[in-house]
Structure 1
């Protein structure tokens, strides 16, 4: 687990532990910490809260917003809610029903709430049977935050039959791609296109993925290529 690393103005990333999902697939975890203009912290896709990470985060400011960008990235929300009871969970559509044990303050919608609208824009990518992921754009650093809709694993990350599945699914493609399973799950392509149109309207320079090395330049072109199948 790494300490916070500066990635752009008022934006830091930290890698958490590798977790095991369905069928024994292992996934890295990554969080993003944004310090908003008014000083409070926006925690995107929280990872396991180690003592070191907690100290690093608290040195930046008060934790106010815990963000679950989709229904697949909720594993560590409870840890953060216990550690920061004053923070509010803002969850992707559908997560409230899956996690009644958590106090979900707000369901993420089409527009950013006033709490962070000055710094961060957002759009839900609707029409997907797997999950409705809410994609975020941090304006000061020109950084797109995407959890599962774009992935880019190293070719050697998976082994055995899982490596074969990952290759077919485009998880280990030569460049970042939308995995095939998510492409097929977009049963409402019109809704997906509306979301993508808004995303491509942002001046994206950098991209942080939960599952892939960050993109430091020409992010807009990378996102457009990843979604070329949706055009």
Structure 2
């Protein structure tokens, strides 16, 4: 049930931050499997043609709605992006609030949601998807994917259909910012736990949670990255490493200057260098 995955009072712990004048993030605490502090983040992007795109919707608090109004004006939400098959439980609430929004999602998510019928009150299985990204396309990962003219004008998109979570990665072209969910973490999740009382935290290193500390080592972007690289090589890309590599090469060709992940810290300096270090084995560096 999704009620075990979200804070009891999201408005009390949400951290809202403007990354640029056109992009605002909504960050929240989130424990994966009840023990790994990975945090959660939604990214709200002002579209050049009006309205906003919401990448990985989190809890729709009054403050979150105010961000939509500030960035999107009367046009509100144009697109809701479920960035993979794991990030979707708030789609229904956002769609109810912004019924003209178009949902973009990976193949398999509609079926996953349908399986929760009658079990999860947060998920409306009747929600309609505007664009479903198909798995294992015959086309090259290098071939541009089109969603709609207003979306295509602002965003580049690579769909990692071979990733275990089916990852959707965006480039916001006007400001050269990469937005992604589970393709790359950047732990520890400092900002996302900023407003949480340390005395009530679970899974934090200070509580001697060994598994949490190990997980943070695997999902970091600084220091010795051998375990992060091993995870990407042996887990994330195992189903089709050649196609995974091709997708990464496309992303690497984008001129991004910042990376906004769903889990962990936003990377605002040397983003391309960080990306290349994490995915060095896939981008052609020697496998050490």
155-164 or 109-118, which deviates more: 155-164
Aligned length: 228
State the shift of 1:80 in Å: 0.8
Contact persistence 2:178–2:258 (CA under 8 A): yes
SS at match of 2:71: coil
Partner of 2:121: none
Q: Distance in 1 between matches of 2:35 and 2:85?
A: 19
Partner of 1:10: 22
Contact persistence 2:35–2:212 (CA under 8 A): no
Segments of 4+ moved more than 6 angstroms: none
170-179 or 46-55, which deviates more: 170-179
Rg bigger for which structure? 2
TM-score (norm 1): 0.88
Is 1:150–2:181 an aligned residue pair?
no
Is 1:56–2:67 an aligned residue pair?
yes
Higher relative contact order, structure no. (Cα contacts within 8 Å, ≥ 6 residues apart)? 2
TM-score (norm 2): 0.71
State the shift of 1:197 in Å: 1.2
Structure 1 gap ranges (5+): none
Instruction: Tell me how large the CA RMSD over aligned residues is.
Output: 2.4
Q: Distance in 2 between matches of 1:15 and 1:176?
A: 27
Contact persistence 1:31–1:46 (CA under 8 A): yes
Q: Deviations over 1:116-135 (max 9, x none)?
A: 1111101012322x211011
Structure 2 gap ranges (5+): 1-12, 115-124, 135-143, 190-202
State the shift of 1:224 in Å: 1.1
1:161 to 207, 210, 224: 210
Q: Is the alpha carbon distance of 1:181 and 1:103 closer, same or farther for their aligned partners in structure 2, counting shifts above 3 Å?
A: farther
Partner of 1:206: 258
Name whichever structure is richer in helix by fraction.
2
SS at match of 1:122: strand
Is 1:69–2:83 an aligned residue pair?
yes
